[in-house]
Structure 1
Amino acid sequence: MSLVQAPTSEFVGRQVELDRLGGLLAGGARLITLVGPGGIGKTRLVGEFVRRVHRARSHLVYWASLAELEGDCRATAQDVVQSAVCTFGGGSNYSADRAVLVLDNCEHLLGAVGPLIADLLAAAPGLTILATSREPIGWVDEYIVTVPPLSPVQSLELFRQRAELVGWVIPDDSQQLAVAARICRRVDHNPLFIRLAAARLRHQPPAMVLRELSGGADDKRLRWTHGARAGTEARHRGVYDVLAWSFALCGVREQLLLERLSVFAAGHQTDDGESPHRGIELDAVIAVCADDILPAGQIEHLLERLTERSLLSVHLTPAAMSWYLVESVQVFARDRLHHRDRAAAELLSARHRRYFCDKVAAGHVGWHSPADKSWIDSVGQEIRSAVEVSRPLPVPLPARTPSLWSELSQAERDVAVFAAAGWPNSAIAVRRHSSVRTVDAQVATIRQKLMIASRNEIARHIPEELAERVRHESERRPRRTSRVARYR
């Protein structure tokens, strides 16, 4: 059996990143980590690269997928990594002392995987580790390869390919291509989000898909799903699932700051790559977001952590920096902000609006040049963003909260009880005579319906009448057994 699995769908662009990976491998790099936000294509990129390495027969290639492992299962993570390494051996057409180990999806296991990587690299001089993660591993000689969004041309190519899969052909018509290009821009040129947008064409034309991407309170992207029941991981079945996975890995203050940043207008890198569209400066973040819970002195560090976790983007110049949330993250964070505390969200919006109104009042004397007009437009967009945040959600929170549990099916409620009791998905599957993939999908659906970021939050939504059952199942919770993932 092949050491590297065949691709399951199209591969678009990424030649710069492929060349970079090839140069690092040829130069003897020991740890190369591909970092970037969820859905950006890290796994697909490293898969394409190692397939080329495998075809060249220059290295043995092994693949360990860590996505399904739970974040606290240190022993299982060790078993997976060690099982992949222990299979290293000579092949008749390979150099026995040159091997590549891919560790896919490390971000939730950094505490377990980081020390193991250091030990493996010290013990195996001919080993190169390719890791994918939403943040760096933290090894001293780690090479970090940031996986960027697709270019506008590549995004449009991918969207047209995916649209054709669902039976919607986008012709070479300037107006229809313009709508498709705007859809790609509104989903941040993120490959997974482009695929999700194309899947919507099963139900409605591109113009209606674009209207769902309003960026405002009526934006519908968080309710999108992939539509596919096979070939997709639970955390990649929808925009909400992708972002909730990353959000759940953040600390409490990181989560709170990300939510508060949603009052700022969404930004994006301009096509020339030289400047951000609507960047946020540190002074503005402190003025709007800092308080007793988030002291001003901690804001810069928290911004750096959110950037490390690929939830916040940063633009650096030789003399300054600014940050921005891409639109999908902003929509997600704003939704979380409203559900956390609507009154606090309105107060934060008022602080944001007042800050930029004061900037307009202080800066009006210099409104002469085109650059000044660009600045005015940016400030105006921030004020419009504050107004948008203060608008009510389509369904008011007080009327919505009590009904969330009732939206679950009976099977989903049963799974939720086991999850709240601390049962791993594999044990739930055995108990319910189901498959792990089915339980993974059910847990993802539960999180989406309850509007929560992580599995750990399910317990907060368990009705009082089921609390005793949760306690009972918690006492009966089975001990985890090691699960080994090996790609031979």
Structure 2
Amino acid sequence: MTGSAEPSWRGGYVPAELNRFVGRRELLASARAKLGDPRLRLLSLTGGGGTGKTRLAVHLAHAVRRSYADGVWWVDLASVTDTGMVGRAVLDALPVDDISSPDSGEVLTAALAGREALLILDNCEHLAAGVAPLVVRLLTRCPRLRILATSRFPLRCPGEHLLDVPPMSTPSDPDHAVAREYEAVRLFEERAAAVREGFTVGADNAADAGRLVRLLDGVPLAIELAAPLVRSMALPEIVSALSAFRLGLLTDGPHHPGHHRTLWHTFEWSHQLCSPEERLLWARLAVFAGGFTMEAAVAVAGDAGLPGDRIPALLRTLVTKSVVTADTDAAPTRYSMLATVREYGLERLRRAEPPLPDLRPDPSGDEVAARRRFSRYYGEQATRHGADWYGPDEGRYLWEAAQDLPNYRAILDRCADATTVGEAEAGARIASALTAVRLWFFAGTLGEGLRALLRTDEALRRTGGPSAARLTVLAKAGWMALCLGEDTTAAELLTACRSLAEPTASEPGGEAALANLGFLTAAAAMLTGTAPVEPPTFAAVGADLAAAGDGGTVPMADLLGAIQAAFAADRHEAIAVTEAHLADARARGARWTTSWAQWARALAELRHGEAETAAEMFRAVLRAHWDIGDRWGSLWCLEALGWTSAALGRHEAAAPLLGAASAMQRRMGVRIGRLKPWAAAHTACVERVRAALGAGYEAAERRGADMPIEHAIDMALGHRAANRADAPAPARSPAPVLSEKQRAVAELIADGRTDKQIASALFLSPRTVHSHVGAILRRLGFGSRTEIAKWVLEQRR
């Protein structure tokens, strides 16, 4: 292993191995040798569906992760349906502070350019048109990066090396006494023993085990699906049932090549071993693009033909039969399907007739109805959370939306291709509601939010949707553009909104649409300086939004009003307005909104009160934003603390803070310096600090720009920066200061919780928990979670 990685990159992220890896010794050795070849940058594991490409990649990743200083990073592309979202999916998997850039490839190349890392792209075959160009771009501009891909087909990129992952070896003569020596038989034995204690393959059943794996062509996923049957059937019965079913297969089904056809046959067999209700549930659950809860399953799969009260028991049975997987670490439990299992379910959902004439008709052909329930459930979920955003459940709403982002993306993709007004309007409601719950600031990006809103508007325009719906989504898109610093785009969208205002007035929903136009107009005037903004403007805008039922946008109007007062009003009004906004947010128990209200209050204190008080307040906000993963807010705090340090005459501290904030903007693809109030404050601060430091300013600013973001945050909070790996270990304080959220994470580590369990308990993303753990290790000077747990126990005593 070379060098020392930043805490957030160290180790990377690879899914845990949930069971023992069986066989594949020569294949694994070959893959490791290829990854060890410095001339080989791109390795693709190819093979039919179910041959074990993903499982091999997981095991390989754990085996080689110590060889990469900046970690091994896993990217699951199975739930991505839009080739334009490949870069976004990769960013989601990395500890990159990207909030908004519309060019995710540019952010990725900047983040990975100097890193020694292995990127694993799993399930690439359906996105080759998006994956291949990104892979070429990254490998060209990131010389120390390597990429491992799994795909049914080659990516056809320059420099690609292929390693075929065939089915496991099976005995050519099942009656031979050494059948157990074959990989496929050992896998079956291992998985069967996991569900039936004491199960082994011996002289009495080796022939049947050999016949079984031969019938399944040694396809690992097919064997995994068959193994649980040993709980309810004798091995000869399983072989007999599978033999009869396979011989009776018709040839008019999907013509998948090679091993994937074998897998399809296995799914057909597993399907027939389910009850009619279980089959129906399997097919309907396939509309989920990502994970889902029990509540979602009931809402999407339930109807008169499959009552909702039957679904919990049926879902548990599908988990038992390995059709559905359950993540019990999450709270509530989240369920999911493997991509190939979901693919089969979707095919069943589209077919009204069974594959065999002697079977009863399959009632699972109503794909349209299932997708309609799917869209309706998530639409109602997003709309309700957006309307109720300003309150104590903000964190939970945001967590739930982030967990369901793959499902929301799938719905928005379908709505973007809408052929009816109803479908387009459904997409508009969801895109608007997700903007209200701030999802694009956290789980997605502002660039993704802008794109989703504009695609929704195009669908509305194409299908003849109402002006009110178009005005609402375009106004929210204009707000996204303003936050990006794209003032030209924002101006164009504002003009488009104004052209829709007159026809909107008389339409249902017109009041809310016009209120959103009022918000965009005031926000654009303030942030771009195109027109004066009177003190009562944002209060009036907030009142209009509240009256129209757009509660999620009200706190944003209040915040802008508070910031406007802090920048432009006199001392009395600035303090009064910001204090009133802070008091209201606290009264509602809205933690995220409160943290931003504190930022505005600190700004008022900086410009009209005590800079020392402002510094203390900005640091408190920075702790809160960093802890909940709000990188957008963390950036604003870094910049503001630079202003504050300059106001206090601490110029040597101000310059690196300004440099760190500028670097963070570049990495995130945002340009808050193009927002007029920030630009004026930034310019004045730079001039002041440059005058004080003279020729030393450039070096001090560059030091902050080159600093890892975690170190910059430590510096801004007044903590020591993390030492290099080769520096002497620092003396450990008997009671180091952790933030409230870090303390909560440490307590849960001591209780033996995993990152997923911690994330569920604290309404954080696993990636944010990972960052917290790194920060805790750094501040306590520890090297493992075990040391954190011991420290917490000592503190408790």
Q: TM-score range by the shorter chain?
A: 0.5 to 0.7
Pair 1:472–1:114, CA change in 2 (3 A): same
**C-alpha distance in 1 between matches for 2:234 and 2:403:** 31
Report what 1:461 is aligned to: none
Deviation at 1:169, TM superposition (A): 3.5
Letter in 1 for 2:195: V
Distance 2:239 2:384 in 1: 41
CA offset at residue 128 of structure 1? Answer: 0.6
Over 3 Å counting, the alpha-carbon distance change for 1:414 and 1:337 in structure 2 is: closer
Which deviations, in whole Å up to 9, do the C-alpha atoms of 1:246-291 show, x marking residues without a partner?
A: xx8xxxxxxxxxxxxxxxxxxxxxxxxxxxxxxxxxxxxxxxxxxx
Change (3 A) 1:185 1:158: same
Alignment of 1:205-354 (within 5 A): 205-214=234-243, 215-217=246-248, 220-223=269-272, 225-226=321-322, 229-230=325-326, 234-236=336-338, 241=342
Aligned to 1:174, the other structure's residue is in SS state coil
1:417 is matched with 372
| Higher normalized contact order (CA 8 Å, seq sep 6+, divided by chain length) | 1
Q: Who is 1:114 aligned against?
A: 132
In structure 1, stretches of 5+ residues that fail to align are 89-95, 249-331, 343-391, 442-454, 457-467
Give the paired residue count: 306
Equivalent AA in structure 2 for residue 393 of structure 1 = P
Is residue 2:217 matched to residue 1:188? yes
Question: Take 2:158 and 2:129, find their aligned partners in 1: how far apart are those partners?
Answer: 15
Q: 1:425 to 1:182 in 2, by over 3 A?
A: farther
CA shift for structure 1 position 203: 2.3
Matched, 1:146 2:164: yes
Residue type of the partner of 2:231?
Answer: R
SS at match of 2:326: coil
TM-score (norm: length of structure 1): 0.52
Task: Identify which of 6, 12, 16 aligns with 1:6.
Answer: 16
Q: Quick one: which of 49, 55, 58 aligns to 2:60?
A: 49
Matched to 1:181, the amino acid is: G
Mapping of 1:469-484 within 5 angstroms?
Answer: 472-477=422-427, 478-479=430-431
Letter in 2 for 1:217: G
Q: 1:32, 1:233 → 2: CA distance?
A: 31
**1:132 pairs with 146, 150, 156, which one?**
150
Q: Distance in 1 between matches of 2:130 and 2:93?
A: 15
Q: For residues 382-393 of structure 1, what are the structure 2 equivalents within 5 Å?
A: 393=357
What are structure 2's unaligned runs of at least 5 residues? 1-7, 98-113, 171-181, 250-267, 274-320, 328-333, 386-399, 408-412, 445-764, 771-797
Matched-pair contact (CA < 8 Å) for 1:38–1:242: no
- Please name the residue that 2:30 is paired with: 20
How far did residue 149 of structure 1 move? 0.8
Supply the distance in 2 between the matched residues of 1:145 and 1:428 (Cα, whole angstroms). Answer: 46
What code does the residue aligned with 2:222 have?
F
- The letter of the residue matching 2:90 is V
- Give CA deviations for 1:68-96 in whole Å, capped at 9, x if unaligned: 22x2251x3211224556749xxxxxxx6
Distance 2:379 2:402 in 1: 8
For 1:394, the equivalent position in structure 2 comes to: 358
Distance 2:325 2:130 in 1: 31
Q: Counterparts of 1:114 and 1:174 in 2: how far apart (Å)?
A: 49
Q: 1: distance between equivalents of 2:229 and 2:247?
A: 19
SS in 2 for 1:51: helix
Structure 2 partner of 1:34: 45
Does the 8 Å CA contact 2:52/2:165 hold for their aligned counterparts?
yes
| Secondary structure of the structure 1 residue equivalent to 2:162 | strand
1:138 deviation in Å?
Answer: 1.5
Rounded Cα–Cα distance in structure 2 between residues aligned with 1:108 and 1:192:
19
Q: Which amino acid aligns with 1:188?
A: D
TM-score by length of 2: 0.33
Q: Which amino acid aligns with 1:127?
A: L
Task: State the Cα distance separating 1:117 from its structure 2 match.
Answer: 0.7
Aligned CA distance change for structure 1 residues 13 and 436 (closer, same or farther; 3 Å): farther
SS in 1 for 2:205: helix
Looking at structure 2, the residues matched to 437 and 86 of structure 1 have their Cα atoms a distance apart, in angstroms, of 17
The answer to whether the 8 A contact 1:35-1:145 is kept is yes
Q: Which residue of 1 aligns with 2:229?
A: 200
Q: After TM superposition, give the deviation of residue 440 of structure 1 in Å.
A: 9.2
- The match for 1:155 among 184, 199, 202 is 184
**1:290-323: CA deviation from partner (whole Å, max 9, x where unpaired):** xxxxxxxxxxxxxxxxxxxxxxxxxxxxxxxxxx
Give the 3-state SS of the residue equivalent to 2:33 in structure 1: helix
Q: Which residue of 2 aligns with 1:78?
A: 87
3-state SS of 1:110 partner: helix
**Corresponding position: 1:67 with 2:78:** yes
Residue identity matched to 1:182: R
Residue pairs, 1:326-475, within 5 angstroms = 393-395=357-359, 400=361, 403-404=363-364, 415-418=370-373, 423=375, 430=382, 472-475=422-425
Partner Cα distance (2:204, 2:421) in 1:
59
Larger radius of gyration: 2
**Is the contact made by 1:163 and 1:169 (CA closer than 8 Å) also made in structure 2?**
no
> How has the CA–CA distance of structure 1 residues 211 and 157 changed in structure 2, closer, same or farther, with 3 Å as cutoff?
same
Displacement of 1:52 in angstroms is: 1.3
Identity %: 27
Summarize the Cα distance change of 1:172–1:139 in structure 2 as closer, same or farther, 3 Å threshold.
closer
Which letter maps to 2:77? L
CA RMSD of aligned residues (A): 4.4
CA change 1:137–1:57 in 2 (3 A) is closer
CA distance in 2, matches of 1:103, 1:209: 36
Shift in Å, 1:101: 0.7
1:476 aligned counterpart, secondary structure: helix
User: 1 CA distance for matches of 2:359 and 2:141?
Assistant: 57
Separation in 1 of the partners of 2:70 and 2:248?
51
- Distance in 1, Cα, partners of 2:405 & 2:205: 40
Residues 175, 147 of structure 1: alpha-carbon distance in 2 compared, 3 angstrom cutoff? same
Shift of 1:234: 4.4
| TM-superposed deviation, 1:228 | 5.1
Once residues 65 and 427 of structure 1 are traced to their aligned partners in structure 2, the CA distance between those partners, rounded to angstroms, is 25
C-alpha displacement of 1:34: 0.7
TM-superposed deviation, 1:48: 1.1
Take 1:235 and 1:415, find their aligned partners in 2: how far apart are those partners? 16
* AA of the residue aligned to 2:426: R
Contact 2:323 2:341 in 1 (8 A): no
Who is 1:445 aligned against?
none
Secondary structure of the residue that 1:100 maps to in structure 2? strand
Say if 1:11 and 1:242 are closer, same or farther in 2 by CA, change over 3 A: farther
Q: Is the 8 A contact 1:64 1:84 kept in 2?
A: yes
State the shift of 1:195 in Å. Answer: 1.1
The answer as to whether partners of 2:68 and 2:117 remain within 8 angstroms in 1 is: no
**What SS does the corresponding residue of 1:47 show, helix, strand or coil?**
helix
Tell me whether 1:170 sits opposite 2:272 in the alignment.
Answer: no
Q: Is the 8 A contact 1:418 1:428 kept in 2?
A: no
Are the counterparts in 1 of residues 24 and 183 from structure 2 also a CA contact under 8 Å? Answer: no
Cα shift at 1:413: 8.4
SS in 2 for 1:7: coil
Indicate the structure with greater helix content: 2
- Measure the CA separation in 2 of the matches of 1:179 and 1:158: 14
Distance 1:172 1:80 in 2: 43
